Amino acid sequence: MYDHDDDVEESGSSLRRKLEETLNENRALATELSGLKAKELIAEQGLGLVKPDDLVGVDLSEMADRASQLQQERATQQADLARDMLARRGLEGDELDQAVTDFLTPPEAPRDTAAHSRAREVAAIGGSAAPIRDTSNLMGLDAIEHALRHES
Query: pTM of the entire structure?
Result: 0.54
* Contact (CB, 8 A) for 47 and 69: no
Query: Residue 117: its pLDDT value, please?
Result: 63
Q: Which domain holds residue 123?
A: 111-149
DSSP helix, strand, coil percent of the chain (3-state; round to 5):
75, 0, 25
Considering the domain architecture, whether residues 125 and 80 belong to the same structural domain is answered as: no
The number of folded domains in the chain is: 2
55 with 117, same domain?
A: no
Q: 70 versus 7: which is more confidently predicted?
A: 70
pLDDT band, very low/low/confident/very high, at 112 (cuts 50, 70, 90) = low
What tens digit of pLDDT does each residue of 30-88 get? 888 888 899 998 998 888 889 998 988 888 889 999 999 999 999 999 999 989 988 88
